[in-house]
Amino acid sequence: IFLCSPCDTNGKVHAAILYTARYLGIDEVYKVGGAQAIAAMCFGTISIPKADKIFGPGNTYVTKAKELALQAGIAIDLPAGPSEVLIIADHTADPDFVAADLLAQAEHGADSQVVLLTNEPRLSEAVNKAIERQLPALDRKKIIQQALVHSISVVCDSLEECIAFSNAYAPEHLIVATNDATMLLDKVTNAGSVFVGHYSPESAGDYASGTNHTLPTNGYAKSYSGVSVDSFVKKISFQEISPEGLNQLGPTIETMAEAEGLAAHKHAVRIRLNKLSYEQ
């Protein structure tokens, strides 16, 4: 297991990243990031080894490079691209909290998308006003403004309609900002990670709640799970059949091989069964 991470302008990798790598027992760190890091891990270079599988989120360029790596025969965790959040909020939601969560997701990059769904028209208006109030104080307001240009707010007839919209959108992050979310949660079929109630900001998932935050974006939550311990596990199946076992299983194998028209598959069993009956 080795790590690629970009440097700051002084040519240093961030101390928090190096500390974490050391803590995890990763002692091979290369000072490179972006699409060029993916290319190096995909094909190998004089100094960077070729990887079997590449993990980690990134911007549009990194995601595209990982897609090309996949075509070149290297496995990837999942196509995790520009970040997105979808919030379903009802009349119990605090417009300030909803606005803050939308702004937090929008600061990831100009290509981020944030979506608000609500069954309460007044909430939609109150959130817009809260965004205007909160935005000026934020460091990355230019990025946020760019992201907000292609972000949307939709007033639906019911919370059920919000969930149906969300399942079709398949958001990376879904925040359900309602008082009694349990019944709604049963209907969530497509989402990366779900944040329930008014005190579960998405930034908790990024940093502290313990769920993984490398998640499927761009509709991929319809087909992909987020990164988990499973993503690092490779399974090999082993089977050992005894002579007695083959005597029992053999006829099944022969019938099935014959049904598929694969005589040599049947023969590989028959030649063993013949020898066993000759030895008896």
Which is the catalytic residue, given 108, 173, 198, 213?
Answer: 173
Per-residue contact string for residues 40-59; x = within reach of a copy of itself by CB under 8 A: ------------xx------
Minimum separation from the CB atom of position 255 to a copy of itself (A): 8
Judged by CB under 8 A, does residue 187 bind a copy of itself? no
Minimum separation from the CB atom of position 124 to a copy of itself (A): 19
Picking from 7, 77, 81, the residue whose alpha carbon sits closest to that of residue 37 is: 7
Minimum separation from the CB atom of position 190 to a copy of itself (A): 8
Judged by CB under 8 A, does residue 207 bind a copy of itself? yes
Minimum separation from the CB atom of position 182 to a copy of itself (A): 9
Stretch that binds a copy of itself, among 20-28, 120-128, 155-163, 211-219 (CB under 8 A): 211-219
Amino acid at position 13, single letter:
V
Picking from 272, 103, 74, the residue whose alpha carbon sits closest to that of residue 175 is: 103
Cα 209 to Cα 206: distance, rounded to the nearest angstrom:
8
Q: What are phi and psi of 83, to 5 degrees?
A: -75, 155
Judged by CB under 8 A, does residue 252 bind a copy of itself? yes
* Interface of this chain with a copy of itself, residues 54 to 93, rule: CB under 8 A: 67, 70-71, 73-75
- CB-wise, 36 or 203, nearer to a copy of itself? 203
Task: For residue 206, give the 3-state DSSP assignment.
Answer: helix
Judged by CB under 8 A, does residue 181 bind a copy of itself? yes
Judged by CB under 8 A, does residue 16 bind a copy of itself? yes
198 as an active site residue: the answer is no
Cα 145 to Cα 114: distance, rounded to the nearest angstrom:
11
What is the enclosing helix (H) or strand (E) of 114? strand 113-118
Q: Give the number of other CB atoms < 10 A from CB of residue 263.
A: 11
Minimum separation from the CB atom of position 166 to a copy of itself (A): 12
Picking from 269, 263, 267, the residue whose alpha carbon sits closest to that of residue 249 is: 269
Judged by CB under 8 A, does residue 104 bind a copy of itself? yes
Picking from 101, 102, 64, the residue whose alpha carbon sits closest to that of residue 81 is: 64
Cα 25 to Cα 163: distance, rounded to the nearest angstrom:
42
Residue that has been written with the tokens 């019944």 in this structure: 183
Residue 145's contacts (CB-CB under 8 Å, 6 or more residues apart) are: 135
Stretch that binds a copy of itself, among 26-34, 55-63, 117-125, 258-266 (CB under 8 A): 258-266
* Interface of this chain with a copy of itself, residues 229 to 248, rule: CB under 8 A: 230, 233-243, 245-246
- CB-wise, 121 or 208, nearer to a copy of itself? 208
Cα 246 to Cα 253: distance, rounded to the nearest angstrom:
9
Q: Which of 10, 121, 136, 208 binds a copy of itself (CB under 8 A)?
A: 208
172 as an active site residue: the answer is yes
Q: Which residues are catalytic?
A: 172-173
